[in-house]
Amino acid sequence: MEYNKGTIGRVFVVRFDEGDDFLGGLEDLAISEKIYSGWFHVLGGLRNAGVVTGPQEPVMPPEPVWQEVSGAKEVMGTGSIFWEEDKPKIHLHAALGDHEDTLTACVRKNTKVFLVLEVYIIEVKDISATRPWYEKGGFNRLTFS
């Protein structure tokens, strides 16, 4: 285990509307506001998303199981923002569901908002951390400097 200690910086309340690109918009916001370390919560709806529902087998590096989610899905999740070189890397785990079916997954691409998606971002200051590519694991891993 490794850790770093910081303080709470700015707090952002963000609304995404029908058809917005959620992950792209969140990356754009992190760039424009220079959010280098942060934690966020998501509440609302997604119309589309490319998600990973786990590994094929519990080995390193894992082979991800991809699934495309479509239709109107209620969403509740939490994630973090850390950078890989000059770009923010978003890590979001969320429950997505409709009616009686719920899927918990790592939300990774092709995100389009259904109706509205509210995001609450807490910036963490005084943290020296990035999310570079971790070759052994085959993913971007939180790393402290």
pLDDT in tens, 76-114: 999 999 999 999 999 999 999 999 899 999 999 999 999
pTM of the predicted model as reported, rounded to 2 decimal places: 0.94
* Exposed e or buried b per residue across 65-103, where buried means at least 16 C-beta atoms within 10 angstroms of its C-beta: eeeebeeebbbebebbbbbeeeebbbbbebebeeeeeee
Write out the CATH class of domain 7-144: alpha beta
- Residue 22 φ then ψ, to 5°: -65, -60
Structure tokens at 30: 């992190």
Does the pLDDT of residue 52 top 90, yes or no? yes
Does the pLDDT of residue 22 top 90, yes or no? yes
- Residue 60 φ then ψ, to 5°: -110, 130
The pLDDT-based confidence of 14 (bands split at 50, 70, 90) is very high
* pLDDT given for residue 100 in this prediction: 87
- Identify whether the C-beta of residue 75 lies closer than 8 Å to the C-beta of residue 122: no
